[in-house]
Amino acid sequence: MLVERPASPGRARAPVSRSFYQLGVSAQSPLDPDGSAHYLRRCMGFDTLGLSAAVLEAIEESGYTTPTPIQAQAIPIILEGKDVIGASQTGTGKTAAFALPTLSKIEKMGKPQILVLEPTRELAHQVAEQFEKYGKHTGMKVALLYGGVGLGTQSEQLAAGADIVVATPGRLVDHFYRTSMRFGEIKVLILDEVDRMLDMGFLPQVRKIVNLCPWEGRQTLFFSATMPPAIQTFAQWCLTDPVSIEIARTSIPTSVTHAFYPVAMDQRDELLLELLKQTDYHSVMIFTRTRKEADQLTSLIKTTGQTKVAAMHSDINQVDRMKALAGFKAGEYEILVATDVAARGIDISNVSHVINYRVPENAEDYVHRIGRTGRAEAEGDAFTILTADELDYAKSVEIFIDQPIPRRKLEDFDYIYTALLDTTPIKSIRRKKTGGGKKRR
């Protein structure tokens, strides 16, 4: 029976917001005397942050010279050994913000010392690659644990002396019960994309894993794209006197151009195909709400003669999903049709366009989706097909990102009339009061 270990006298739980640094929002950071969002980036290079020589060598080989805002703030705090709760949108360098300092903090032991939890197999694979890239001169090995594949190879990675373990919650618990994974030497626990792990129902498993790790001397890092109240409550349970860092949570890259394309509901597919035909792209991600839509659109696009298209969603087996992702990154596929499984955290460079087949029902999902383009200040386009039944969702998106999104029409497209195409905004209709009864007093 697993019993939750209470906090020791020396590890009093503190409110998450006790220490709060902001950069790129209205509050002025204590590290930013002139209020400029680029102050840290102007004054700090990676070599000023206290990272180890082995990690700095790998950074130099990767071609990076200047840390992003979340890296500049998080790295020194993590190196000090403090717990961190970090809110940062996708494409801000969040993975390196926790990988670089944790790799600098530990020495090779041949037993798991850094444990990273990720909500999906794709994210786990991507994060493991980052640890391997930045830790290649440290001599430390990385074990990658996720479901959908056999346990054998993963058990061999653990037995070979992995110091870093990157895992999804379910598969990690499987290895615990098989006694192939031990938690006694864990020094740093990293919970990445926490809000999504909770949304996916992993809370019981995550709590079990947190309890399996040593409480004394453990550093715990929370990183998430959003910080709803439920996440802050969970953080108070497992973090100790954390420093909270929030980097422009609801802002969007200024290098991305947004547009709604209104159309009649019966012409959604036609407009999508015409949009692809008229757009000069080299890599496009199309997001759908359902797996069925992703498969149908992939087949529809192929009928136009475009063969460099692949689908990616949870019903596709893991091997084929990884092939689709790798093929899109390598340029083998020009179009990737995906559900939101690919919207959060997946690091795909040089995506020129993102197309929302439907307006996302959750405004925050819009930010996660368009985060695939305009990364690292590169230019990108985010197109969203809009029908009359999605007006409320569209308004929610505009409110959330605090800017209006222009409506556009395609040239030479034979539109079926819809009121959405009128240039004059649609006014709400108010019914006149009827009846002449006496007013109540």
Please write the tens of the pLDDT for every residue from 254-289. Answer: 778 899 999 999 999 999 999 999 998 889 999 999
Residue 247 is predicted with a pLDDT of: 65
Average pLDDT, the chain: 82
SS3 for 183?
coil
Least confident of 41-55, 198-212, 213-227: 41-55
Q: What is the DSSP letter of 351?
A: B
Cα–Cα distance between 215 and 187 in angstroms, integer?
9
Strand 353-356, strand 284-287: pairing: parallel
**Does 121 or 136 have the greater pLDDT score?**
136
Pick the CATH number of 19-247 from 3.30.1510.10, 2.60.40.10, 1.10.8.350, 3.40.50.300: 3.40.50.300
Residue 441 is predicted with a pLDDT of: 44
Contacts of 159 (CB under 8 A, 6+ apart): 180
Least confident of 255-264, 367-376, 411-420, 431-440: 431-440
Fold adopted by 256-421: Rossmann fold (3.40.50)
**Does 371 or 71 have the greater pLDDT score?**
71
Cα–Cα distance between 47 and 66 in angstroms, integer?
9
Residue 282 is predicted with a pLDDT of: 82
- What own/partner pairs with CB < 8 Å and gap ≥ 24 does 5-10 have? 5/211, 5/215, 7/215, 7/240, 8/215, 8/216
Contacts of 286 (CB under 8 A, 6+ apart): 272, 297, 335, 336, 337, 338, 354, 355, 356, 357
According to CATH, where is 3.40.50.300 located in the chain? 19-247, 256-421
Find out whether 118 and 166 touch, Cβ atoms under 8 Å. yes
Q: Is 355 exposed, middle or buried (0-12, 13-18, 19+ CB in 10 A)?
A: buried
- The proportion of the chain whose per-residue pLDDT surpasses 70, expressed as a percent, equals 80
Find out whether 211 and 186 touch, Cβ atoms under 8 Å. no
Q: Which two tokens stand for residue 303?
A: 């009928």
